[in-house]
Amino acid sequence: MTSQLMSAPKFLSSHEGESYKVLDSTFTIKIFGQETEGQWLLYEIVTPAGHEPPLHSHPWDETLYIHRRGNGSSS
């Protein structure tokens, strides 16, 4: 089985992308679902120190979290 690269790599630095303010956090979309044929998306969330989202769940699978600084949990 072979895999083909569908498009060129996309390089974005921190805070680059389409940003939205949600409560006290900033969500920056790095890769939209349309860019991956709906397979996944990538976004960065910046929150103030000591803040984290309330315990919640999503009806879809999530498999990757990158926590860059501070404390937090994702159960």
pLDDT classification of 70: cutoffs 50, 70, 90: low
**pLDDT tens per residue across span 2-48:** 455 556 788 888 778 999 998 888 999 998 888 888 888 888 888 88
Whether pTM > 0.75 for this model: the answer is no
Average pLDDT over residues 60-72: 69
Which residues does 63 contact at the CB level (< 8 Å), separation at least 6?
none
SS3 for 1-67 is CCCCCCCCCCCCCCCCCEEEEECCEEEEEEECHHHHCCCCCEEEEECCCCCCCCCCCCCCCCCCCCC
